[in-house]
Amino acid sequence: MSSLTVEMGFMMSTIDRWARNVVVVVLVLLAGMIAWVQFRPNSDPTHFGFVWGNAAQVANPEYRVSFGGGAERGLFRTSMTAEIGSHLDEITPDRHPGFVEISQDLFGNTDRTEFPGSSLTRYLRKFRGGEGVDLSAKKSAEIQVRSLEPEALTTVIVELAAPLAEEDLDKLGFSWDLEFKRFFLSGSQSMNGKPLYWWPGLGGCEATIFVDHDCSIKSAVSQFRKWVSVLKDGDSASLANLGLDLRLLREAAARGKVYGFIANLHSRDRALDLLAKPEVRTLHIVERGREPE
């Protein structure tokens, strides 16, 4: 056997061993990547829905965002579809909801489809809850309210003169079933120009159903604090993509105060009664329903 043949055989054997080693390395890397995808932060659809479904609601007070655990995890992306509806849907339920998708890639980057425009946005960006008494603003609101029909159905944004603890809101004369606590938990904040917001969801616990199956948390502020407590420093960039600032969220959770709220009112007198409360800075009529037949 010639030395050339021996050398060729040795070379082929070396190449074969090298190829097998490459295959092993690729398989190990692939297995590691799959394991990382499986166990990466927020890879659990339940956790993803709780964290980012609620983030979409906190950043978009214009809508009632509903989700019930429909998050799906793929190999490279976790996503969920959320239903969005008008606040007035509560008393005019014949309206049709819209939908948005919230997703996160395997690197933790979170994004969403754009929410449609809303007439509420301009009121939210002028929100002045917690900034003290404003008699001029209250007078202007009274003129607007008195122009309503006696049994007008309206959605209003209420600004409080000073931030209140959740338990102190009873003096405003609402029953405050948990489902109807649509609270602003800050003044206007710099990231998107709107106040931070919390709605417990349909039935009073939809927003926390992923971690609170028996709906044991009866305080909207406590629900908000529970949600903020699971946010990590590494979530800052994704929160910013949704218009939220992690530092401001943590500050609002630490304060635990209510700066205003959204309410549906069933009469002109109810709006005037609310406006007359000294705790109320002013209110804005942002949606009107059909007059009862």
Instruction: Give the start-to-end residue ranges of the domains of the chain.
Output: 1-39, 45-112, 120-288
Q: Across the strands, what pairs with 100?
A: 82
Chain centroid offset of residue 229 CA: 15
- Beta pairing, strands 72-73 & 64-66: unpaired
pLDDT of residue 35: 42
pLDDT of residue 53: 82
Radius of gyration over alpha carbons of the chain, in Å? 26
> Strand runs (DSSP E) across the chain, as ranges?
64-66, 72-73, 77-85, 98-105, 110-112, 154-164, 183-188, 195-198, 258-265, 280-288
Q: What does pTM read for this prediction? A: 0.80
Q: Are the CB atoms for 259 and 248 separated by under 8 Å?
A: no
- Regions of the chain short of the pLDDT cut 50: 6, 28, 31-42
pLDDT of residue 146: 94
For the stretch 72-89, pLDDT in tens is 766 677 777 878 888 876
pLDDT of residue 145: 94
Q: Are the CB atoms for 281 and 132 separated by under 8 Å?
A: yes
Cβ neighbors of 273 (< 8 A, separation 6 or more) are: 173
How many helices (H) and strands (E) would you count in the chain?
9, 10
For the stretch 15-30, pLDDT in tens is 566 656 555 555 545 5
Distance CA 30, CA 75 (A): 12
pLDDT of residue 34: 45
Phi/psi at 77 (5° precision): -155, 140
